Amino acid sequence: MITTEELQVVALSLQVAAVGTLLALPFALWIGWFLAKSSLPGKALLDTLVSFPLVLPPVATGYVLLLIMGREGPVGKALQSWFGIDVVFTWVAAALAAGLVAMPLMVRAIEVAVAGVDPRLEFASRSLGAGRLWAFFTITAPLARRGIIAAVLLGFARGLGEFGATIVVAGNIPGRTQTIPLFVFNRIQVGDDAAAVRLIVASMVLALLALLVHQHLVRRQPART
């Protein structure tokens, strides 16, 4: 049976993955829309930058995040100076790491969904006086909603499995930042194979549920004519 400590690890992992996905979603929406619809220069550079977390070692991604969010980093120093807040080595840092690593996958899914929206509908909305932002939220986003939800689920599933970036920027602190991958790593190190297997199975079930819903939504996406 799964223990109380392991349930707390699962709950923290769900919290970290959910918050990380929500933090990444606004950026993924804007970048996905820009890559799908904009004809402005700079798309190739943005596309390359967004893909970095996919090709860099997760430890490197976590270290970059640590440099930015640490006490001597530009964001971390400002947060410490203005609000007395330390983000690193907290569950918030773990959420940021999960969101950063998951965002490229979310961007790709959103880009495909937005590209499938008939541009004539958007042009009609714009011709009636709607701005870009209003047209996006009233025309593009509703029509691409299944793809956007699928992107959220894909990002959530990726956030659940994040390890390398998390351990660098958030540490492996039981009860505070220890997510399922970190717990499994710790249990394997001390030889507690039974606990490791229980949490591996739990993570597989959670990821499988998210991916099954994602696949269902992707298959229901209407084909663009």
Q: Is 225 within a domain?
A: no
Q: Which tens digits make up the pLDDT trace of 129-177?
A: 777 788 888 888 899 988 899 899 999 999 999 999 999 999 999 989 9
| pLDDT given for residue 11 in this prediction | 94
Q: Is 20 within a domain?
A: yes
| pLDDT given for residue 40 in this prediction | 77
Low-confidence ranges of the chain (pLDDT < 50): 223-225
Q: Is 83 within a domain?
A: yes
Q: Is 77 within a domain?
A: yes
| pLDDT given for residue 7 in this prediction | 92
The whole-angstrom separation of Cα 189 and Cα 134 is: 53
For tokens 């593009």, the residue is 140
Within 13 A of 106's CA, how many CA atoms are on the CB side? 29
The whole-angstrom separation of Cα 96 and Cα 167 is: 12
| pLDDT given for residue 44 in this prediction | 82
| pLDDT given for residue 62 in this prediction | 93
| pLDDT given for residue 221 in this prediction | 56
- Give me the CATH number covering residue 126: 1.10.3720.10
The whole-model pTM stands at 0.89
Number of domains in the chain: 1
| pLDDT given for residue 225 in this prediction | 39
Report yes or no: 105 and 209 within 8 Å, Cβ to Cβ: no
Q: Is 224 within a domain?
A: no
What range does the domain containing 91 cover?
Answer: 4-219
